[in-house]
Structure 1
Amino acid sequence: MITMLIDDLDKRVMADTGGRTSQRWATSRRGLRGLDIGRRVRVWQRQDHASAKPQGIWRRTGAMFLAVAAMLVVAVIARAEYDPPIATLVTNMLQSAGSDRSVILCENQDGLYQGFRTGPKQGGYELTDISLDMRDANESRDRTINAGLYHREGYLITKVTDLTRRRLDDFALNAWQAPENTYLEPDADYYFLLNCGAGYADDNVAQFATTYSFGEDLEGREGWSLHNYLGLRSAGGTTWARDPNKTLRIRVKGRPSPHRAYKTEIISTPANGRAYRYGENIDIALTFNTDVY
Protein backbone atom coordinates (compact mmCIF):
# COMPACT_ATOMS: atom_id res chain seq x y z
CA MET A 1 0.00 0.00 0.00
CA ILE A 2 2.87 2.39 0.84
CA THR A 3 4.50 1.74 -2.55
CA MET A 4 1.20 2.42 -4.33
CA LEU A 5 0.85 5.75 -2.49
CA ILE A 6 4.39 6.74 -3.44
CA ASP A 7 3.76 5.83 -7.09
CA ASP A 8 0.56 7.90 -7.06
CA LEU A 9 2.40 10.91 -5.65
CA ASP A 10 5.12 10.50 -8.27
CA LYS A 11 2.57 10.57 -11.11
CA ARG A 12 0.97 13.74 -9.75
CA VAL A 13 4.29 15.52 -9.45
CA MET A 14 5.23 14.44 -12.99
CA ALA A 15 1.97 15.93 -14.24
CA ASP A 16 2.66 19.24 -12.47
CA THR A 17 6.17 19.58 -13.87
CA GLY A 18 5.08 18.64 -17.39
CA GLY A 19 8.32 16.87 -18.02
CA ARG A 20 10.30 20.14 -18.07
CA THR A 21 12.72 19.19 -15.35
CA SER A 22 14.94 16.19 -14.81
CA GLN A 23 14.29 13.56 -12.19
CA ARG A 24 16.50 11.15 -10.30
CA TRP A 25 15.56 7.94 -8.43
CA ALA A 26 17.47 6.62 -5.45
CA THR A 27 17.04 2.93 -4.68
CA SER A 28 18.20 1.10 -1.60
CA ARG A 29 18.81 -2.42 -2.91
CA ARG A 30 20.92 -4.23 -0.37
CA GLY A 31 18.83 -3.27 2.64
CA LEU A 32 18.74 -5.75 5.50
CA ARG A 33 21.76 -7.74 4.43
CA GLY A 34 22.17 -11.14 6.06
CA LEU A 35 18.46 -11.61 6.75
CA ASP A 36 17.35 -11.97 3.13
CA ILE A 37 14.40 -9.65 3.64
CA GLY A 38 15.63 -6.67 1.64
CA ARG A 39 13.04 -4.14 0.65
CA ARG A 40 13.32 -1.61 -2.16
CA VAL A 41 12.23 1.82 -1.04
CA ARG A 42 12.00 4.37 -3.83
CA VAL A 43 12.46 8.01 -2.98
CA TRP A 44 11.80 10.53 -5.74
CA GLN A 45 14.02 13.58 -5.87
CA ARG A 46 14.17 16.53 -8.21
CA GLN A 47 17.50 18.17 -8.82
CA ASP A 48 16.21 21.70 -9.34
CA HIS A 49 14.94 22.41 -5.81
CA ALA A 50 15.05 26.13 -6.39
CA SER A 51 12.43 26.05 -9.15
CA ALA A 52 10.12 23.49 -7.52
CA LYS A 53 6.49 24.50 -7.03
CA PRO A 54 5.30 24.68 -3.39
CA GLN A 55 2.63 22.09 -4.08
CA GLY A 56 5.20 19.72 -5.54
CA ILE A 57 7.46 20.22 -2.51
CA TRP A 58 4.70 19.21 -0.12
CA ARG A 59 3.92 16.14 -2.19
CA ARG A 60 7.54 15.11 -2.36
CA THR A 61 7.85 15.63 1.40
CA GLY A 62 4.86 13.35 1.90
CA ALA A 63 6.46 10.72 -0.31
CA MET A 64 9.66 10.93 1.72
CA PHE A 65 7.80 10.44 5.02
CA LEU A 66 5.95 7.47 3.55
CA ALA A 67 9.26 5.95 2.48
CA VAL A 68 10.65 6.39 6.00
CA ALA A 69 7.50 4.77 7.40
CA ALA A 70 8.00 1.85 5.02
CA MET A 71 11.54 1.33 6.31
CA LEU A 72 10.28 1.37 9.90
CA VAL A 73 7.67 -1.25 9.02
CA VAL A 74 10.41 -3.42 7.51
CA ALA A 75 12.44 -3.12 10.73
CA VAL A 76 9.45 -4.17 12.83
CA ILE A 77 8.79 -7.13 10.54
CA ALA A 78 12.45 -8.16 10.79
CA ARG A 79 12.25 -8.15 14.57
CA ALA A 80 9.02 -10.16 14.59
CA GLU A 81 10.21 -12.80 12.15
CA TYR A 82 13.86 -13.11 13.16
CA ASP A 83 13.90 -13.44 16.91
CA PRO A 84 16.10 -16.42 17.80
CA PRO A 85 14.04 -19.61 17.41
CA ILE A 86 13.05 -21.64 20.45
CA ALA A 87 15.45 -24.57 20.80
CA THR A 88 16.97 -26.97 23.31
CA LEU A 89 19.29 -25.16 25.71
CA VAL A 90 20.50 -28.28 27.51
CA THR A 91 19.39 -31.94 27.71
CA ASN A 92 20.60 -35.44 28.56
CA MET A 93 17.72 -37.40 27.02
CA LEU A 94 20.10 -39.35 24.78
CA GLN A 95 22.34 -40.48 27.64
CA SER A 96 22.27 -44.06 28.93
CA ALA A 97 19.17 -44.94 30.95
CA GLY A 98 19.28 -45.44 34.71
CA SER A 99 16.71 -46.68 37.20
CA ASP A 100 13.38 -44.92 37.64
CA ARG A 101 12.79 -42.67 40.62
CA SER A 102 9.36 -42.91 42.28
CA VAL A 103 8.05 -39.93 44.22
CA ILE A 104 4.80 -38.98 45.94
CA LEU A 105 3.96 -35.53 44.63
CA CYS A 106 2.24 -34.18 47.72
CA GLU A 107 2.98 -31.64 50.41
CA ASN A 108 5.16 -33.07 53.20
CA GLN A 109 5.86 -36.11 51.05
CA ASP A 110 8.64 -36.79 48.57
CA GLY A 111 10.26 -34.17 46.42
CA LEU A 112 13.04 -33.98 43.86
CA TYR A 113 14.97 -31.40 41.90
CA GLN A 114 17.51 -31.15 39.11
CA GLY A 115 19.94 -28.28 38.79
CA PHE A 116 21.50 -26.76 35.68
CA ARG A 117 23.86 -23.92 34.80
CA THR A 118 23.18 -21.41 32.04
CA GLY A 119 25.58 -20.44 29.28
CA PRO A 120 27.66 -17.26 28.94
CA LYS A 121 25.42 -15.37 26.50
CA GLN A 122 25.35 -11.75 27.64
CA GLY A 123 21.77 -10.59 27.90
CA GLY A 124 20.69 -13.96 29.25
CA TYR A 125 18.08 -16.38 27.97
CA GLU A 126 14.32 -16.67 27.78
CA LEU A 127 12.95 -19.91 29.28
CA THR A 128 9.90 -21.49 27.65
CA ASP A 129 9.57 -24.95 29.24
CA ILE A 130 11.32 -27.78 31.08
CA SER A 131 10.53 -31.44 30.30
CA LEU A 132 11.06 -34.63 32.30
CA ASP A 133 10.95 -38.20 31.03
CA MET A 134 7.88 -39.69 32.74
CA ARG A 135 7.69 -43.47 33.08
CA ASP A 136 4.44 -43.99 34.99
CA ALA A 137 1.98 -41.89 36.98
CA ASN A 138 -0.97 -42.76 39.21
CA GLU A 139 -3.99 -40.57 39.94
CA SER A 140 -2.35 -37.63 38.20
CA ARG A 141 -4.27 -37.21 34.99
CA ASP A 142 -6.72 -34.56 36.15
CA ARG A 143 -4.47 -32.63 38.49
CA THR A 144 -2.25 -29.62 38.01
CA ILE A 145 1.28 -30.46 39.07
CA ASN A 146 3.32 -27.33 39.74
CA ALA A 147 7.09 -27.10 39.71
CA GLY A 148 9.24 -24.32 41.06
CA LEU A 149 12.18 -22.63 39.35
CA TYR A 150 14.82 -21.40 41.78
CA HIS A 151 17.96 -19.34 41.34
CA ARG A 152 21.05 -19.88 43.45
CA GLU A 153 23.72 -17.27 44.07
CA GLY A 154 26.21 -18.44 46.65
CA TYR A 155 24.19 -19.66 49.63
CA LEU A 156 21.16 -17.56 48.69
CA ILE A 157 18.36 -19.44 46.92
CA THR A 158 15.40 -17.44 45.63
CA LYS A 159 12.28 -18.52 43.81
CA VAL A 160 11.95 -17.24 40.24
CA THR A 161 8.53 -18.53 39.21
CA ASP A 162 6.18 -21.52 39.05
CA LEU A 163 6.01 -23.76 35.99
CA THR A 164 2.72 -25.55 35.40
CA ARG A 165 1.42 -28.72 33.81
CA ARG A 166 -2.21 -29.79 33.71
CA ARG A 167 -1.67 -33.55 33.73
CA LEU A 168 1.03 -36.20 33.67
CA ASP A 169 1.26 -38.57 30.70
CA ASP A 170 2.71 -42.06 31.05
CA PHE A 171 5.85 -43.02 29.11
CA ALA A 172 6.28 -39.62 27.47
CA LEU A 173 8.07 -36.32 27.83
CA ASN A 174 6.09 -34.09 30.16
CA ALA A 175 6.76 -30.38 29.71
CA TRP A 176 6.17 -27.79 32.42
CA GLN A 177 5.46 -24.41 30.83
CA ALA A 178 7.13 -21.25 32.06
CA PRO A 179 5.18 -17.98 32.20
CA GLU A 180 5.85 -15.44 29.46
CA ASN A 181 8.93 -13.28 29.90
CA THR A 182 10.74 -15.73 32.17
CA TYR A 183 14.41 -14.81 31.78
CA LEU A 184 17.54 -16.53 33.06
CA GLU A 185 20.81 -14.81 33.85
CA PRO A 186 24.02 -15.90 32.10
CA ASP A 187 26.48 -18.15 33.95
CA ALA A 188 24.00 -18.79 36.76
CA ASP A 189 22.73 -21.86 38.63
CA TYR A 190 19.02 -22.77 38.60
CA TYR A 191 16.95 -25.61 40.07
CA PHE A 192 13.82 -27.23 38.68
CA LEU A 193 12.01 -28.51 41.78
CA LEU A 194 8.92 -30.70 42.16
CA ASN A 195 7.48 -30.04 45.60
CA CYS A 196 3.69 -29.83 45.39
CA GLY A 197 1.48 -27.88 47.78
CA ALA A 198 -1.58 -28.85 49.79
CA GLY A 199 -4.61 -30.45 48.20
CA TYR A 200 -2.97 -33.35 46.41
CA ALA A 201 -3.90 -36.97 47.02
CA ASP A 202 -1.36 -39.12 48.86
CA ASP A 203 -1.46 -41.70 46.08
CA ASN A 204 -0.30 -39.17 43.50
CA VAL A 205 2.76 -41.30 42.71
CA ALA A 206 4.96 -40.64 39.69
CA GLN A 207 8.01 -42.41 38.30
CA PHE A 208 10.67 -40.33 36.57
CA ALA A 209 13.48 -41.66 34.40
CA THR A 210 17.08 -40.99 35.37
CA THR A 211 20.50 -41.52 33.84
CA TYR A 212 23.80 -42.60 35.35
CA SER A 213 25.66 -40.42 32.87
CA PHE A 214 26.68 -36.90 33.80
CA GLY A 215 27.14 -35.83 30.18
CA GLU A 216 24.93 -33.57 28.08
CA ASP A 217 23.68 -34.13 24.54
CA LEU A 218 25.32 -32.19 21.73
CA GLU A 219 22.11 -30.41 20.70
CA GLY A 220 22.35 -28.07 23.71
CA ARG A 221 23.79 -24.57 23.51
CA GLU A 222 27.42 -23.84 24.27
CA GLY A 223 28.25 -23.33 27.93
CA TRP A 224 25.09 -24.95 29.33
CA SER A 225 25.46 -27.90 31.72
CA LEU A 226 23.49 -30.06 34.16
CA HIS A 227 24.46 -30.53 37.78
CA ASN A 228 25.91 -34.02 38.28
CA TYR A 229 23.54 -35.12 41.02
CA LEU A 230 19.84 -35.52 41.76
CA GLY A 231 18.28 -33.68 44.69
CA LEU A 232 15.86 -35.62 46.91
CA ARG A 233 13.66 -35.11 49.93
CA SER A 234 12.05 -38.03 51.76
CA ALA A 235 8.46 -38.07 52.99
CA GLY A 236 8.06 -35.98 56.11
CA GLY A 237 11.59 -34.66 55.87
CA THR A 238 12.63 -31.03 55.97
CA THR A 239 16.10 -31.32 54.45
CA TRP A 240 17.19 -32.14 50.93
CA ALA A 241 19.85 -34.72 50.12
CA ARG A 242 21.84 -35.51 46.99
CA ASP A 243 22.06 -38.71 45.01
CA PRO A 244 25.52 -38.41 43.42
CA ASN A 245 25.06 -41.44 41.18
CA LYS A 246 22.34 -40.20 38.82
CA THR A 247 20.55 -37.22 37.32
CA LEU A 248 17.03 -36.73 36.03
CA ARG A 249 16.49 -37.10 32.32
CA ILE A 250 15.60 -33.51 31.52
CA ARG A 251 15.28 -31.05 28.64
CA VAL A 252 15.41 -27.26 29.07
CA LYS A 253 14.10 -25.20 26.15
CA GLY A 254 14.20 -21.51 25.35
CA ARG A 255 16.33 -19.06 23.38
CA PRO A 256 18.78 -16.20 23.83
CA SER A 257 17.00 -13.12 25.08
CA PRO A 258 15.06 -11.68 22.10
CA HIS A 259 16.00 -8.19 23.25
CA ARG A 260 19.57 -8.96 22.18
CA ALA A 261 18.74 -10.75 18.95
CA TYR A 262 20.77 -8.63 16.54
CA LYS A 263 22.68 -5.40 16.14
CA THR A 264 22.21 -2.81 13.40
CA GLU A 265 25.16 -1.33 11.52
CA ILE A 266 25.39 1.30 8.77
CA ILE A 267 27.73 -0.19 6.19
CA SER A 268 27.70 2.52 3.51
CA THR A 269 29.61 5.82 3.39
CA PRO A 270 28.23 9.27 2.46
CA ALA A 271 29.28 10.45 -0.97
CA ASN A 272 30.95 13.56 0.44
CA GLY A 273 32.49 11.59 3.29
CA ARG A 274 30.69 13.58 6.00
CA ALA A 275 26.88 13.40 5.92
CA TYR A 276 24.14 11.74 3.89
CA ARG A 277 22.16 13.96 1.56
CA TYR A 278 18.53 13.74 0.58
CA GLY A 279 17.98 10.85 -1.85
CA GLU A 280 21.31 9.16 -1.10
CA ASN A 281 21.42 5.42 -0.36
CA ILE A 282 21.96 4.34 3.24
CA ASP A 283 22.77 0.64 3.48
CA ILE A 284 22.33 -1.11 6.82
CA ALA A 285 23.05 -4.66 8.01
CA LEU A 286 21.45 -6.65 10.82
CA THR A 287 23.82 -9.15 12.44
CA PHE A 288 21.60 -11.98 13.69
CA ASN A 289 21.89 -13.40 17.19
CA THR A 290 24.61 -10.99 18.29
CA ASP A 291 24.68 -9.13 21.59
CA VAL A 292 23.73 -5.46 21.53
CA TYR A 293 25.45 -3.41 24.21
Structure 2
Amino acid sequence: MIVLPISVDTSLLIALLCMGSREGEVVQVILDREIYDLAKRVAEDLEHIRSTWSFEMPEAVLRRESVLLRRMLVEDEYARAWRAVGLSRQPMVRATSLDGFLGSVDRKYVAYAFAPLARRLTVDMQQLTIKSPSPQEGDLLITAPGYNQGLGLVMILIPRAEADGKGAEALSQEVAGNLGGKREWGTYAISDLLRSPAALISGTTINRREIIKYVANRLGGAHGGGQRNPVEWQLLDSQWGLLEHLNSCYLELLSIGLFFADSTDATRYIQEFSRIEEPPPVLGHTREEQR
Protein backbone atom coordinates (compact mmCIF):
# COMPACT_ATOMS: atom_id res chain seq x y z
CA MET A 1 0.00 0.00 0.00
CA ILE A 2 1.17 3.52 -0.80
CA VAL A 3 0.00 6.21 1.61
CA LEU A 4 -0.03 9.71 0.16
CA PRO A 5 -0.67 12.72 2.41
CA ILE A 6 -2.20 15.68 0.59
CA SER A 7 -2.29 19.30 1.66
CA VAL A 8 -2.05 20.93 -1.79
CA ASP A 9 -3.14 20.15 -5.32
CA THR A 10 -1.20 16.95 -6.03
CA SER A 11 -3.23 15.16 -8.71
CA LEU A 12 -0.16 14.94 -10.98
CA LEU A 13 1.88 13.37 -8.17
CA ILE A 14 -0.90 10.86 -7.53
CA ALA A 15 -0.95 9.93 -11.22
CA LEU A 16 2.81 9.38 -11.24
CA LEU A 17 2.68 7.22 -8.12
CA CYS A 18 -0.14 5.15 -9.58
CA MET A 19 1.87 4.61 -12.77
CA GLY A 20 4.89 3.52 -10.76
CA SER A 21 3.06 1.23 -8.34
CA ARG A 22 2.91 -2.53 -8.76
CA GLU A 23 -0.15 -4.06 -10.42
CA GLY A 24 -2.99 -4.48 -7.96
CA GLU A 25 -1.42 -2.16 -5.39
CA VAL A 26 -3.84 0.24 -3.72
CA VAL A 27 -3.07 3.95 -3.54
CA GLN A 28 -4.56 5.37 -0.35
CA VAL A 29 -5.13 9.12 -0.36
CA ILE A 30 -4.89 10.89 2.99
CA LEU A 31 -6.04 14.50 3.10
CA ASP A 32 -5.20 17.11 5.67
CA ARG A 33 -8.11 18.54 7.65
CA GLU A 34 -8.74 21.62 5.50
CA ILE A 35 -8.71 19.79 2.18
CA TYR A 36 -10.78 16.94 3.60
CA ASP A 37 -13.46 19.38 4.78
CA LEU A 38 -13.57 20.91 1.28
CA ALA A 39 -13.89 17.49 -0.36
CA LYS A 40 -16.58 16.44 2.11
CA ARG A 41 -18.58 19.63 1.57
CA VAL A 42 -18.53 19.12 -2.20
CA ALA A 43 -19.71 15.50 -1.87
CA GLU A 44 -22.52 16.57 0.46
CA ASP A 45 -23.53 19.44 -1.83
CA LEU A 46 -23.70 17.12 -4.85
CA GLU A 47 -25.99 14.78 -2.92
CA HIS A 48 -28.07 17.75 -1.79
CA ILE A 49 -28.63 19.01 -5.35
CA ARG A 50 -29.52 15.51 -6.55
CA SER A 51 -32.11 14.95 -3.84
CA THR A 52 -33.73 18.40 -3.47
CA TRP A 53 -33.50 20.41 -6.72
CA SER A 54 -36.70 20.33 -8.79
CA PHE A 55 -39.11 22.50 -10.76
CA GLU A 56 -41.21 22.90 -7.61
CA MET A 57 -38.51 25.00 -5.89
CA PRO A 58 -39.69 28.61 -5.39
CA GLU A 59 -37.54 31.51 -6.52
CA ALA A 60 -36.62 32.50 -2.94
CA VAL A 61 -35.10 29.06 -2.33
CA LEU A 62 -33.24 29.05 -5.64
CA ARG A 63 -31.75 32.47 -4.91
CA ARG A 64 -30.26 31.08 -1.71
CA GLU A 65 -29.19 27.82 -3.37
CA SER A 66 -27.49 29.72 -6.20
CA VAL A 67 -24.69 30.70 -3.82
CA LEU A 68 -23.91 26.99 -3.42
CA LEU A 69 -23.65 26.64 -7.19
CA ARG A 70 -21.45 29.73 -7.46
CA ARG A 71 -19.09 28.36 -4.81
CA MET A 72 -18.87 24.92 -6.40
CA LEU A 73 -18.54 25.95 -10.06
CA VAL A 74 -17.62 29.62 -10.46
CA GLU A 75 -15.22 29.61 -7.48
CA ASP A 76 -13.91 26.21 -8.58
CA GLU A 77 -14.49 24.17 -5.41
CA TYR A 78 -15.72 21.14 -7.34
CA ALA A 79 -12.66 21.00 -9.60
CA ARG A 80 -10.29 21.52 -6.65
CA ALA A 81 -11.96 18.76 -4.64
CA TRP A 82 -11.92 16.49 -7.72
CA ARG A 83 -8.14 16.81 -7.96
CA ALA A 84 -7.68 16.51 -4.21
CA VAL A 85 -9.24 13.04 -4.04
CA GLY A 86 -6.82 11.86 -6.73
CA LEU A 87 -8.90 12.10 -9.90
CA SER A 88 -7.19 13.24 -13.09
CA ARG A 89 -8.22 15.79 -15.76
CA GLN A 90 -11.42 17.80 -15.24
CA PRO A 91 -14.82 16.33 -14.38
CA MET A 92 -16.98 15.93 -17.49
CA VAL A 93 -20.64 16.88 -17.89
CA ARG A 94 -23.28 16.15 -20.54
CA ALA A 95 -25.46 19.21 -21.13
CA THR A 96 -27.77 20.62 -23.77
CA SER A 97 -26.53 22.82 -26.59
CA LEU A 98 -28.22 26.14 -27.40
CA ASP A 99 -26.58 26.27 -30.85
CA GLY A 100 -27.84 22.78 -31.65
CA PHE A 101 -31.33 23.72 -30.54
CA LEU A 102 -31.43 26.86 -32.70
CA GLY A 103 -30.24 24.99 -35.77
CA SER A 104 -29.64 27.16 -38.85
CA VAL A 105 -32.14 29.88 -38.00
CA ASP A 106 -30.69 33.34 -38.67
CA ARG A 107 -29.43 34.56 -35.29
CA LYS A 108 -30.14 38.20 -36.15
CA TYR A 109 -33.86 37.43 -35.84
CA VAL A 110 -33.56 35.81 -32.42
CA ALA A 111 -34.89 38.25 -29.85
CA TYR A 112 -34.73 35.75 -27.00
CA ALA A 113 -33.62 32.12 -26.69
CA PHE A 114 -32.63 29.83 -23.82
CA ALA A 115 -30.90 26.46 -23.96
CA PRO A 116 -33.01 23.31 -23.54
CA LEU A 117 -33.62 22.25 -19.97
CA ALA A 118 -32.36 19.25 -18.04
CA ARG A 119 -34.44 16.11 -18.62
CA ARG A 120 -35.81 16.16 -15.08
CA LEU A 121 -37.53 19.52 -15.65
CA THR A 122 -40.93 19.31 -17.30
CA VAL A 123 -43.31 22.21 -17.60
CA ASP A 124 -47.05 22.52 -18.18
CA MET A 125 -47.46 24.83 -21.18
CA GLN A 126 -50.53 26.39 -19.57
CA GLN A 127 -48.21 27.90 -16.98
CA LEU A 128 -46.19 29.79 -19.58
CA THR A 129 -46.51 33.56 -19.92
CA ILE A 130 -44.49 35.40 -22.57
CA LYS A 131 -43.67 39.09 -22.30
CA SER A 132 -42.78 40.22 -25.81
CA PRO A 133 -39.82 42.56 -26.51
CA SER A 134 -42.05 45.44 -27.67
CA PRO A 135 -42.18 44.83 -31.43
CA GLN A 136 -42.99 47.72 -33.75
CA GLU A 137 -46.31 47.78 -35.58
CA GLY A 138 -46.23 45.28 -38.42
CA ASP A 139 -43.25 43.28 -37.09
CA LEU A 140 -43.61 39.52 -37.19
CA LEU A 141 -43.32 37.78 -33.81
CA ILE A 142 -42.82 34.00 -33.88
CA THR A 143 -42.69 31.99 -30.67
CA ALA A 144 -41.46 28.42 -30.34
CA PRO A 145 -41.75 27.65 -26.62
CA GLY A 146 -41.16 23.88 -26.51
CA TYR A 147 -41.08 23.88 -22.71
CA ASN A 148 -43.43 20.92 -22.52
CA GLN A 149 -40.72 18.85 -24.23
CA GLY A 150 -38.09 20.26 -21.90
CA LEU A 151 -36.84 22.63 -24.59
CA GLY A 152 -35.87 26.27 -24.22
CA LEU A 153 -38.08 29.24 -24.98
CA VAL A 154 -37.34 30.87 -28.35
CA MET A 155 -38.82 34.13 -29.61
CA ILE A 156 -38.14 35.27 -33.19
CA LEU A 157 -38.72 38.93 -34.09
CA ILE A 158 -38.65 39.82 -37.80
CA PRO A 159 -38.85 43.51 -38.80
CA ARG A 160 -41.88 44.56 -40.83
CA ALA A 161 -39.82 45.44 -43.90
CA GLU A 162 -38.47 41.90 -44.21
CA ALA A 163 -41.79 40.30 -43.25
CA ASP A 164 -43.62 42.27 -45.96
CA GLY A 165 -40.99 41.36 -48.51
CA LYS A 166 -41.43 37.58 -48.17
CA GLY A 167 -44.91 37.35 -46.74
CA ALA A 168 -45.61 36.57 -43.10
CA GLU A 169 -46.81 32.99 -43.64
CA ALA A 170 -43.93 32.00 -45.92
CA LEU A 171 -41.40 33.58 -43.59
CA SER A 172 -42.90 31.83 -40.56
CA GLN A 173 -42.59 28.47 -42.31
CA GLU A 174 -39.02 29.23 -43.32
CA VAL A 175 -38.03 30.08 -39.74
CA ALA A 176 -39.78 26.98 -38.37
CA GLY A 177 -37.94 24.82 -40.91
CA ASN A 178 -34.54 26.26 -39.96
CA LEU A 179 -35.09 26.01 -36.21
CA GLY A 180 -33.49 22.85 -34.89
CA GLY A 181 -36.11 22.46 -32.20
CA LYS A 182 -34.57 19.34 -30.64
CA ARG A 183 -32.63 18.71 -27.47
CA GLU A 184 -29.05 18.52 -28.71
CA TRP A 185 -26.37 17.31 -26.30
CA GLY A 186 -22.67 18.00 -25.85
CA THR A 187 -20.04 16.63 -23.49
CA TYR A 188 -18.11 19.36 -21.70
CA ALA A 189 -15.23 19.64 -19.28
CA ILE A 190 -16.55 21.60 -16.29
CA SER A 191 -14.70 24.78 -17.38
CA ASP A 192 -16.16 24.46 -20.89
CA LEU A 193 -19.65 23.95 -19.46
CA LEU A 194 -19.39 27.33 -17.74
CA ARG A 195 -18.31 28.97 -21.00
CA SER A 196 -21.07 27.34 -23.06
CA PRO A 197 -24.06 29.47 -24.15
CA ALA A 198 -27.13 29.44 -21.92
CA ALA A 199 -29.03 32.25 -23.64
CA LEU A 200 -29.05 34.51 -26.69
CA ILE A 201 -30.82 37.83 -26.15
CA SER A 202 -30.86 40.62 -28.75
CA GLY A 203 -27.63 39.39 -30.34
CA THR A 204 -25.72 38.94 -27.08
CA THR A 205 -24.67 35.43 -26.00
CA ILE A 206 -24.83 34.80 -22.26
CA ASN A 207 -22.89 31.83 -20.94
CA ARG A 208 -23.76 29.54 -18.06
CA ARG A 209 -21.20 31.13 -15.73
CA GLU A 210 -23.02 34.47 -16.08
CA ILE A 211 -26.39 32.84 -15.34
CA ILE A 212 -25.02 31.55 -12.02
CA LYS A 213 -23.43 34.90 -11.13
CA TYR A 214 -26.56 36.81 -12.15
CA VAL A 215 -28.84 34.82 -9.87
CA ALA A 216 -26.36 34.57 -6.97
CA ASN A 217 -24.96 38.10 -7.10
CA ARG A 218 -27.68 40.30 -8.57
CA LEU A 219 -30.87 38.52 -7.53
CA GLY A 220 -29.48 36.87 -4.40
CA GLY A 221 -27.39 39.79 -3.22
CA ALA A 222 -24.25 37.66 -2.67
CA HIS A 223 -21.91 40.15 -4.30
CA GLY A 224 -18.32 39.10 -4.82
CA GLY A 225 -15.58 41.37 -6.10
CA GLY A 226 -17.59 44.57 -6.00
CA GLN A 227 -20.82 45.75 -7.61
CA ARG A 228 -21.24 44.89 -11.28
CA ASN A 229 -23.94 45.50 -13.85
CA PRO A 230 -22.67 44.01 -17.13
CA VAL A 231 -24.75 44.14 -20.27
CA GLU A 232 -25.60 40.43 -19.85
CA TRP A 233 -27.29 41.15 -16.52
CA GLN A 234 -29.19 44.09 -17.96
CA LEU A 235 -30.55 41.85 -20.72
CA LEU A 236 -31.50 39.14 -18.21
CA ASP A 237 -33.35 41.78 -16.19
CA SER A 238 -35.84 42.01 -19.07
CA GLN A 239 -37.05 38.49 -18.18
CA TRP A 240 -39.17 38.04 -21.26
CA GLY A 241 -39.98 34.39 -20.57
CA LEU A 242 -41.93 33.72 -17.39
CA LEU A 243 -43.57 30.69 -15.87
CA GLU A 244 -46.03 30.48 -13.02
CA HIS A 245 -43.36 30.93 -10.36
CA LEU A 246 -40.01 30.75 -12.20
CA ASN A 247 -38.50 32.78 -15.02
CA SER A 248 -36.10 31.39 -17.60
CA CYS A 249 -32.99 32.39 -15.61
CA TYR A 250 -34.04 30.21 -12.69
CA LEU A 251 -34.86 27.30 -14.99
CA GLU A 252 -31.40 27.56 -16.54
CA LEU A 253 -29.83 27.67 -13.07
CA LEU A 254 -31.76 24.52 -12.12
CA SER A 255 -30.60 22.81 -15.30
CA ILE A 256 -26.93 23.69 -14.74
CA GLY A 257 -27.08 22.25 -11.23
CA LEU A 258 -28.75 19.04 -12.41
CA PHE A 259 -26.42 18.64 -15.40
CA PHE A 260 -23.33 18.41 -13.23
CA ALA A 261 -24.81 16.85 -10.06
CA ASP A 262 -26.46 14.03 -12.06
CA SER A 263 -23.35 13.39 -14.16
CA THR A 264 -21.41 10.12 -14.21
CA ASP A 265 -18.32 11.94 -12.97
CA ALA A 266 -20.20 13.37 -9.99
CA THR A 267 -21.08 9.80 -9.01
CA ARG A 268 -17.44 8.83 -9.48
CA TYR A 269 -16.32 11.70 -7.26
CA ILE A 270 -18.73 10.73 -4.46
CA GLN A 271 -17.47 7.15 -4.63
CA GLU A 272 -13.83 8.21 -4.52
CA PHE A 273 -14.42 10.50 -1.57
CA SER A 274 -16.19 7.73 0.36
CA ARG A 275 -12.96 5.71 0.33
CA ILE A 276 -10.93 8.44 2.03
CA GLU A 277 -10.40 8.15 5.75
CA GLU A 278 -11.32 11.20 7.80
CA PRO A 279 -8.21 12.78 9.32
CA PRO A 280 -8.02 13.35 13.09
CA PRO A 281 -9.02 16.77 14.42
CA VAL A 282 -6.29 19.34 14.88
CA LEU A 283 -5.27 19.42 18.54
CA GLY A 284 -6.44 22.51 20.39
CA HIS A 285 -9.28 23.26 17.96
CA THR A 286 -12.88 22.18 17.81
CA ARG A 287 -14.39 20.90 14.57
CA GLU A 288 -16.31 24.17 14.11
CA GLU A 289 -13.15 26.24 14.63
CA GLN A 290 -11.37 24.24 11.95
CA ARG A 291 -14.07 25.17 9.48
TM-score interval w.r.t. the shorter chain? under 0.3
**Structure with the largest fraction of strand:** 1
Task: Provide the TM-score with structure 1 as the length reference.
Answer: 0.24
Whose radius of gyration is greater, 1 or 2?
Answer: 1
**Structure with the largest fraction of helix:** 2
